[in-house]
Amino acid sequence: QLSETYGPVFTVHLGSRPCVVLAGYKILKETLVERAEEFSGRGDFPAVQQWSHGDGDAPK
């Protein structure tokens, strides 16, 4: 619903940390597949690291 107002790419703040949201298959594919090199150096997000046990995969 937020993407209907703000478009397929927008920022939310989780605490004091800005977090970019990609909403939709097309923008996800463009960003994470076609332009992966440009986005590969982004910093870690500790909550996600803890949740995924540091390997980026969802817990089993």
Q: Where are the chain's structural domains?
A: 1-52
Residue showing tokens 């982004």: 42
Is the distance from CB of 21 to CB of 13 less than 8 angstroms?
A: no
Q: Per-residue b/e over 13-36, b at no fewer than 16 CB within 10 Å? A: eeeeeeeeebbeeeeeeebeeeee
pLDDT tens, residue by residue, 7-33: 999 999 988 888 888 899 999 888 888
Q: Is the pLDDT of residue 42 over 70?
A: no
Structural contact between residues 47 and 38, judged by C-beta atoms closer than 8 angstroms: no
Q: In this predicted structure, what is the pLDDT of residue 28?
A: 87
pTM beyond 0.85: the answer is no
